Amino acid sequence: MAKIVVVGSLNMDLVATSPRIPVVGETIIGDTYFTEPGGKGANQAYAAAKLGGDVAMLGHIGDDEFGREMRENLLKVGCDASGIRTEPGASGVALIFVAATGQNSIIVVPGANTKFTPAHVAADSHHLKGSKVVLLQLENPTETVLAAAHAARNAGALVILDPAPAPAIPLPAELIRTVDVMTPNETEAAILAGLPPGRLQPDQAAQLGKELQKRGAKTVVVKLGDQGCVLLSDGEPVLLPAPKVNAVDTTAAGDTFNAGFAVALSEGRSLADACRFANHAAALSVTRLGTQIAVPSRFEVDHFAKENSIAAVALAH
Ligand code: ATP
Ligand code: RIB
């Protein structure tokens, strides 16, 4: 049985790079175009396996070429893909614009990801037995994510929820209470708190994390892009700053972060050390164009970590 199980989405990413993101009604000329396996669930599974984790994935793909390619890509890094079901119809796709600044805009058309139901979770729950860490995101129906959270808890795993993409309607309180760790980025942290999205300072992120804890979240890690992440657990919140890198494409930085976090926890490291490992892995991923193709190897992350140590910074409370 795999130590890390990802229950989530698979999308084929259709990526265009251009000097900037077009505004509404505008047509601009781009620079490059490529397709690549993506989807928040598959990115986390792929990255966790490439970072040295023992990983299995549960998810749904369509009976098309995209689906076959996405499954193959996971197999290449040793991820157990036997829990990925094939449905009649189209696989999920994501249309991604990447600007020269490294920032992106994404539209996901979920296709087969919507066909993943709580009944499938129940039928496939044997995949969760013996797992240490289960990774969830929000690109499948919310009731399926909730069923997976309960099944993972029942299996005795640590449950990590990446509340991404930001939910259009409030997350069920039961989901927030059921998972062990929530890992919003700054946009998601603001939206979960009912605030307009925008850049957050670390102390503001800590405040929003505390609000989530008041609503039943146990541990919260707020991902803050080039600022690193804020960890809120039993003690006072701390900032784990990101190493300085030249960002080329931040797509799936959050997925690589969650994968690194899960791998480190599955190896018995502390929450703060897991945040450090996650910061190192994600920082390296943003220096490369693409999603799964941008994920660094374990060797690269360990080497980078030796040269870029991260000291925790206590935050005011
Ligand atoms: P995405 O949705 O594109 O997958 P995200 O918005 O969920 O990403 P971010 O907060 O942008 O997540 O980044 C996740 C993590 O990646 C950060 O916490 C940090 O560790 C790392 N990271 C992101 N951008 C940078 C950067 N410019 N320099 C260094 N590290 C970065
Ligand atoms: O987090 C990045 C991912 O979001 C992309 O791979 C895309 O498929 C969307 O799901």
Mean pLDDT across the chain: 96
Of the candidates 312, 229, 219, 298, the residue with the CA atom closest to the CA atom of residue 263: 298
| Ligand showing the shortest atom-to-Cα distance for residue 106 | 2
DSSP assigned state of 19: S
State how far the Cα of 170 lies from the Cα of 192, in Å rounded to an integer.
7
Among 286, 288, 304, the mutation site with the greatest number of ligand 1 atoms within 8 A of its Cβ is 286
* pLDDT (tens digit per residue) in 86-144: 999 999 999 999 999 988 899 999 999 999 999 999 999 999 999 999 999 999 999 99
State how far the Cα of 297 lies from the Cα of 263, in Å rounded to an integer.
12
Q: pLDDT at residue 6 above 80?
A: yes
Of 80, 255, 273, 302, which residue is the catalytic one? 255
Q: What angle do CA 184, 289, 16 make, to 5 degrees?
A: 95
Catalytic residue flag (residue 180)? no
Of the candidates 165, 140, 164, 146, the residue with the CA atom closest to the CA atom of residue 84: 140
Query: Which of 48-57, 191-200, 220-229 is the least confident region?
Result: 191-200
* pLDDT (tens digit per residue) in 16-35: 999 999 999 999 999 999 99
pLDDT at site 168: 84
pLDDT at site 169: 85
Residue nearest to atom 14 of ligand 1 (CA): 254
pTM exceeds 0.85: yes
Helix, strand, coil in percent for the chain, rounding step 5: 40, 25, 40
Segments in 98-237 forming alpha helices (H): 118-123, 142-154, 173-178, 186-192, 202-214
Residue nearest to atom 28 of ligand 1 (CA): 226
Determine contact, residues 26/18, Cβ cutoff 8 Å.
Answer: no
| DSSP bridge pairs for 17 | 32, 98
Atom of ligand 1 nearest to the CA of 243: 29
Q: CA 100 → CA 70, 216, 249, distances in Å?
A: 27, 40, 8
* Residue range 285-306: mean pLDDT, rounded: 96
* pLDDT (tens digit per residue) in 40-94: 999 999 999 999 999 999 999 999 999 999 999 999 999 999 999 999 999 999 9
